[in-house]
Copies of this chain bind each other. A is one copy, B any other.
């Protein structure tokens, strides 16, 4: 008998700056209830699901900035979400901005947590691949300041044994990097959860921005297929503070096929029954890592951050 889990992507429409936590948590709970009514056992919310995507602005006032972050999870404003999930018996992934005090130092991370069906917080991930810049770019109309607002995640890519499977987490831009999926697949992940906020005005260059949805699909489908994992990917979408963000929340199978996809850019639940044994065929044939990988030729991947361009004719 096959092992399976009914997963849901709970896409959020825009969150404006004036929307308070209470109203946002109310929307999250409504999505959770919709997912439960459709049999979901695990719900994936977006990246930074409690606030607007504030890295689009260059803010300098510390108090103003820190208002976007959570000091505790759950806190008084998010506790109702945890209570609802426990009552419904649904696990969830939630992205938010985190303030952490570590070794006496205050650090800011772009974070996601994994909560099991009993309401226990089982895992935390901090975004590794921060896109954008650490200072405002004079030539860009739309800023993208994640390196200014967040420190790169210090946990790496972990995998949690929970809810009858092995689950890995990543956030937004992580999904474009092949290493993200590979590290988790090598740790046995059967399911990878990812929330994202993806504006279509990355660069202001039409030839690039018009491909944003294609690149989203391509990255997620390739990551799933090449690593024989399910991927549940959830957007915060729609016109948020003047910026248009893609939806396309999707549940992708280990074959790379899209099992479900959101149709709009508002609050929307999609679900699919994820057969965890579907990956077995791929893992014993084309992607049997133990038989086919050749890590002795991969050294440069971990030896350098940027390219090493040699002047030799052969490198």
List residues of A whose CB falls within 8 A of some B CB: 122-123, 128-131, 152-153, 156-162, 166, 173, 176-179, 181-183, 185-188, 202-203, 205, 207-208, 211, 214-215, 218-219, 221-222, 225-226, 255-257, 281-282, 285-315
Complex contact A188–B128 (CB within 8 A): no
- Contact partner of A122 among B293, B309, B313, CB < 8 A? B313
A114 to chain B, nearest CB (A): 10
Q: For A224, give the chain B residue with the smallest CB separation.
A: B218
A273 to chain B, nearest CB (A): 15
A226 vs B225: C-alpha distance when bound (angstroms): 15
- Contact partner of A187 among B176, B215, B298, B308, CB < 8 A? B308
Given pairs A203-B285, A288-B306, 4 additional interface contacts (CB within 8 A): A131-B286, A176-B286, A219-B226, A295-B305
What are 7 pairs between A and B in contact, CB < 8 Å? A128-B297, A177-B292, A182-B298, A207-B255, A218-B222, A295-B303, A295-B305
Contacts of A221 in B (CB 8 A): 218, 222
Contacts of A313 in B (CB 8 A): 122, 160-162
Complex contact B286–A202 (CB within 8 A): yes
A60 vs B151: C-alpha distance when bound (angstroms): 59
Contacts of A176 in B (CB 8 A): 226, 286-287
A182 vs B303: C-alpha distance when bound (angstroms): 12
Complex contact B218–A186 (CB within 8 A): no
A208 vs B310: C-alpha distance when bound (angstroms): 41
Complex contact B187–A281 (CB within 8 A): no
Complex contact B256–A214 (CB within 8 A): yes
Contacts of A218 in B (CB 8 A): 218, 221-222, 225, 256
Given contacts A178-B178, A297-B156, A301-B298, contact A188 B222 (CB under 8 A): no
Contacts of A300 in B (CB 8 A): 183, 186-187
A256 vs B216: C-alpha distance when bound (angstroms): 11
Complex contact B128–A294 (CB within 8 A): yes
A233 to chain B, nearest CB (A): 15
Contacts of A301 in B (CB 8 A): 179, 182-183, 186, 295, 298, 301-302
